[in-house]
Amino acid sequence: MTNLRIGHGYDVHRLVEGRKLILGGVEIPWERGLLGHSDADVLTHAVMDALSGAARLGDIGRLFPDTDPAYAGISSLKLLAEVGRLLRERGYGVVNIDATLLAQAPKVGPHRQKMAENMAAALGIGPEQVNIKATTEEGLGFTGVGAGMAAHAVVLLEKTE
Ligand code: MG
């Protein structure tokens, strides 16, 4: 049996006024932010779901229930670090992560490197193992009209022990 495992994650959060916009652990100055129980970092959530999926840990809703006050307003990078710990505990190492943010605005290109560095640091891996992409959906759908943002992620894990 192969020692490689692939995982996919997808997440969506609504954009509202009066919230900070946190993506990949970077606070990006913007007129609105994402709504959620934690800091609503949609990009990090998609990565966490992909990692949990690959390791057969279920999903982040199961790992970190949004009914638990312990996770209210928490930095999603802290949750990502906890997912990383669970992976190591089970003998998994991260080969690579590829994530895509779907957002009409603002431009996140200037922040992509910092996002990759944040996620890598939380997981104890190198930033060269994390790739962050962003695209608009050409004004179409809920991301296109700015009602929310979505993110996809795929990851590859390797069983190391
Ligand atoms: Mg989420």
Compute the distance from residue 42 Cα to the ligand 1 centre, in Å.
Answer: 5
On whether the CB atoms of residues 99 and 132 are closer than 8 A, the answer is: yes
pLDDT band at 160 (very low <50, low <70, confident <90, very high): confident
Q: Which residues of 38-74 are buried (b: 16+ CB within 10 A; e: fewer)?
A: bbbbbbbbbbbbbbbbbbebeebeebbeeeeeebeee
Is 61 a residue whose pLDDT tops 80? Answer: yes
Q: Token pair of 91, please?
A: 């003998």
On whether the CB atoms of residues 80 and 24 are closer than 8 A, the answer is: no
Q: pLDDT tens digits, residue range 24-59?
A: 999 999 999 999 999 999 999 999 999 999 999 988
Compute the distance from residue 46 Cα to the ligand 1 centre, in Å.
Answer: 7
Instruction: State the pLDDT at residue 159.
Output: 95
Q: pLDDT tens digits, residue range 117-137?
A: 999 999 999 999 999 999 999
Instruction: State the pLDDT at residue 109.
Output: 93
Q: pLDDT tens digits, residue range 143-155?
A: 999 999 999 999 9
Compute the distance from residue 21 Cα to the ligand 1 centre, in Å.
Answer: 13
Is 12 a residue whose pLDDT tops 90? Answer: yes
Compute the distance from residue 161 Cα to the ligand 1 centre, in Å.
Answer: 31
- pTM, two decimal places: 0.96
